[in-house]
Amino acid sequence: MTVENTAARKPRRSSKRVSAAKKPTSSEPQLVQLLTPEGERVANPDYDRHVADLGPEELRGLYRDMVLTRRFDAEATALQRQGELGLWASLLGQEAAQIGSGRALRDDDYVFPTYREHGVAWCRGVDPTNLLGMFRGVNHGGWDPGSNNFHLYTIVIGSQTLHATGYAMGVAKDGADSAVIAYFGDGASSQGDVAESFTFSAVYNAPVVFFCQNNQWAISEPTERQTRVPLYQRAQGYGFPGVRVDGNDVLACLAVTRSALERARRGEGPTLVEAFTYRMGAHTTSDDPTRYRHDDERAAWEAKDPILRLRKYLADQGHADEAFFTGLEAESDTLAKRVREAVRAMPDPDDMAMFEHVYADGHALVDEERAQFAAYQASFSTEPDSGSAAGAEEGK
């Protein structure tokens, strides 16, 4: 059963008709869906054309992206448990939202992520090992944002939606036809910065897509603590369309994001996409979801698993055979091994690194403190040998 969100299409009468036919509730939301939890393809007159180009190979590609991302995520979680990472923010359950939207992007589009967009990073070609540096504590982001058009993870909730909007304003000024996408969560929707980014993007008609992954929980606070209306409806008040998509349906996420990006490229301004999904794991490895939610909730969402439903579809359609699935398992193992080894081999930053890149043009105080600290560190190596091996190590 597919129910089209009408906010994007606007005609009021049709909206009433749909409302009468199916009243939205939070447990049974109106959402764009192309692939049911049972793996059945359902038609959608508005969005089918956005995925019409997908043949068996492309479908297998989406499946591969989701499987490898999930495996990477599981490995990172394990590495945190083994003490190799200080923290990890798992994306378990959100693979379809991230891969679907990530694969909708063109190379020249620009992405502003939060700190959980490991699947989007994968789609952008960011080496997954680079995502782990900040969680291991060796840097605050281990990649050059410009080389993949994938900005650094942003930890302060919602800040990046304004950066995305400003960047999109610049894209429009440049006369370019690329688009910008900003990721955030249902918790961030309560932040003033997100509201301000809606205002700015609407006023300046900026080519930006706001991709909200409503994973139902902001740490322990449920979506009901963030909003009294479905999040996609927020867009209406700002004057641009909002769409709710089944966030566990990779085809629907791909189609809806492509549609929104095309709209942005045509100069028609922003779109809010609410990907209705579920965070299957904890908020981060420091969180304990058993304190605030029931197992049966997770069980209900496990039945909607984004990977299983595409697997079923691929198998039913004869698009993938057992050899494909077995091969992918082996590829996952290889990826996990590579990630594990790369993390363990990550060197601690040099002592003096904290003084680097504080300023682009330099700063007298930083120069002074760098010199003082260097002299202090050097003083250990010039001390007379006390015969202690530990002392020698300290002096490195």
C-alpha to C-alpha distance for 209 and 184, rounded to whole angstroms: 11
Alpha-carbon Rg for the chain in angstroms? 23
Residue 322 binding another protein, by CB under 8 A: no
Stretch that binds another protein, among 7-15, 120-128, 193-201, 383-391 (CB under 8 A): 193-201
**Of 155 and 300, CB closest to another protein:** 155
C-alpha to C-alpha distance for 109 and 181, rounded to whole angstroms: 8
Residue 356 binding another protein, by CB under 8 A: yes
C-alpha to C-alpha distance for 334 and 346, rounded to whole angstroms: 18
* Catalytic residue, candidates 244, 279, 309, 311: 279
User: By rule CB under 8 A, what count of residues binds another protein?
Assistant: 41
Per-residue H/E/C for 76-138: HHHHHHCCCCCCCCCCCCCHHHHHHHHCCCCCCCEEECCCCCHHHHHHHCCCHHHHHHHHHCC
Residue 193 binding another protein, by CB under 8 A: yes
Stretch that binds another protein, among 120-128, 166-174, 322-330, 385-393 (CB under 8 A): 166-174
Residue 364 binding another protein, by CB under 8 A: yes
Known active-site residue 279: yes
Query: Pick from 146, 318, 347, 387: which binds another protein (CB under 8 A)?
Result: 146
| Among candidate residues 62, 56, 58, the one with its CA nearest the CA of residue 97 | 62
Residue 144 binding another protein, by CB under 8 A: yes
Residue 117 binding another protein, by CB under 8 A: no
B/e letters for 231-255, b = 16+ CB within 10 Å, e = fewer, are bbbbbeebebbbbbbbbbbbbbbbb
**Of 56 and 267, CB closest to another protein:** 267
Question: Quick check: helix, strand or coil at residue 262?
Answer: helix
- Catalytic residue list: 279, 283, 292
Residues in contact with another protein by CB under 8 A are 139-141, 144-146, 151-152, 154, 156, 159, 161-171, 173-174, 192-193, 196-197, 199-200, 203, 356-361, 363-366
